[in-house]
Structures are given as structure tokens and as C-alpha cells.
Amino acid sequence: MKDWFCSEVLPLEAALTRYLHRCWRAKEDVSDLRQDIYEAALNAARGGLPDHTAGLVFTIARNLMANRARRARIVSFEQVASLEEIVPEVDLSATERHLDARDALRRAQAGMDRLPPRCREVVRLRKVEGVSTREAAERMGVGIDTIERQLTLGIRAMADAMLGGSGRIERGRSSRRTRSVAE
């Protein structure tokens, strides 16, 4: 167990510390959090060593932070003078995320509407309906290479449109060289 901890868990310390600094507001708690994560990882490994140590450690970190944040929000009723003082908390960040997602969806739809019909159909089949490349090619009566190329062009054009560009399909230069005729 000690060998596993030293060879698998301790090398993750720098990445784990960066992760905790990014995700946890109280920077002075990071070292305590890290120690609690190590303890939980050792307890989990007592049942058998994990196949993916990094996944275990970062999952424990995420869950531990979520539990601590949840506990920090719990307020006993004795601390509240009256129930009328309790005002339901509005999660503005969820509302903002919802509005941002709707805006992104509108931009994606506008970008898709600008695509040529065949390209639009390829993007719809592959990304909206989730059909395989082979099935999309069969449905449309074209080759797999055509589907892949149209999908690449369509996604690039949609990304351009979503980022405020024209959303036009930009075709790269042909791989064939054109020769100038010497007179």
C-alpha cells in the first residue's frame, strides 16, 4: 500500500494542488483538503488498488469539495431568528448559464442555416441525429470521404458563425498544383 501511494498518488500532488487552487475559494484550506483526499484515497485502496489512480484521486477531490461546500451552506434553524427572514436564494449563475446556452443554440442554428443544403444535411445527420459516417453516406448516396469532408467544412463554418464571423465555408487550396503555361 505504501509503495502504491508513493509511486501512484504522490506524483499527482502538483496537479492536485493546482486543481484545488482553481476550484476552491479558500486557498488556506488547500493543504487540509489535500490531506483529506490522501486519507480517503488510502481508505478506498484498502479494498483493492484502483486501475486508474488519477481518476480516483480527482474524483475524491471533486466529491470532497462538493460535500464541504454543501456543509458550509447548511444553517441551523436556531441561528435564524424567524422563518420569515429566510429568503429563497436565486441561483443567478444557473440563469446566466441557461441564457448563454440558449444564445449559443441560436448562433449554432443561424450558422447551420447558412450552410449549403448538402453540408447542412451532413451536419444534421452526424451531429444532431448521431448517425455513423457510413450510415450518413448510405442515406445520402455519397462516399464516406464526402461525408467527412462536408462535416469538417460545416463544423468550421458553424464555429466561425458562432464566433461572430461570416459563417461561410472556406475551402483550402487544392492539393493539385496549377502549372503556368510557358509561352
Domain 2-77 has CATH 3.30.420: no
**Cβ–Cβ under 8 Å, residues 74 and 85:** no
Predicted local distance difference test score (pLDDT) of residue 71: 78
Q: Is 10 helix (H, G, I), strand (E, B) or coil?
A: helix
Lowest mean pLDDT among 12-16, 137-141, 143-147, 161-165: 161-165
CA distance 63 to 67: 6
Lowest mean pLDDT among 111-115, 133-137, 158-162: 158-162
80 against 73, higher pLDDT: 73
127 against 166, higher pLDDT: 127
Chosen CATH of 96-162 out of 1.10.10.10, 3.40.50.20, 3.30.70.100, 3.30.70.1290: 1.10.10.10
**Cβ–Cβ under 8 Å, residues 73 and 31:** no
Lowest mean pLDDT among 48-62, 95-109, 127-141, 145-159: 95-109
Q: Phi then psi for 87, rounded to 5 degrees?
A: -110, 130
Predicted local distance difference test score (pLDDT) of residue 175: 42
| Beta carbons within 8 Å of 33's beta carbon, 6+ residues apart | 20, 24, 61, 64, 65, 68
CA distance 34 to 27: 12
Pinpoint the residues of the chain covered by CATH 1.10.1740. 2-77
Pinpoint the residues of the chain covered by CATH 1.10.10.10. 96-162
Mean of the per-residue pLDDT values for the chain? 80
89 against 58, higher pLDDT: 58
Question: Could you read off the pLDDT of 5-51 as tens digits, one per residue?
Answer: 888 888 989 888 998 888 888 888 888 999 999 999 998 888 888 88
